[in-house]
Amino acid sequence: MQFFDFMFVPAILFITIVMPIWLILHYRAQGRAGGALNENDHQALDDLLRNLDKLSERIETLEAILDDSNPRWREDAVKE
């Protein structure tokens, strides 16, 4: 019984002080390590950004064509 009495206080201190700090630091390090992008992710992101630029240009072109053919198309689209 003396061993359990002797280990009771250090166990409580470990659980209340050391363990939460340890867990916080562990998961913070895991988050930082997992948040980095690798080369494939960078390539995919660059491809997506290029596609986004192309689509934005296409939308601007289509809106310009619609503005030339029907200047009130925006008002008509809101009414529907």
What lies within 8 Å, CB to CB, of 66 at 6+ separation is: 73
Burial 50-77 (b: 16+ CB within 10 A, else e): eeeeeeeeeeeeeeeeeeeeeeeeeeee
Q: What is the domain partition of the chain in residue ranges?
A: 1-36, 47-80
Indicate the average pLDDT of the chain: 87
pLDDT higher at 64 or 5: 64
What lies within 8 Å, CB to CB, of 67 at 6+ separation is: 73
Asked if residue 31 has pLDDT above 80, the reply is: no
| Mean of pLDDT values over 32-42 | 79
Lowest-confidence region among 2-6, 20-24, 46-50, 71-75: 2-6
Distance, CA of 37 to CA of 48 (rounded, Å): 15
| Mean of pLDDT values over 27-31 | 84
Quickly state the pLDDT bin for 1 (edges 50, 70, 90).
low
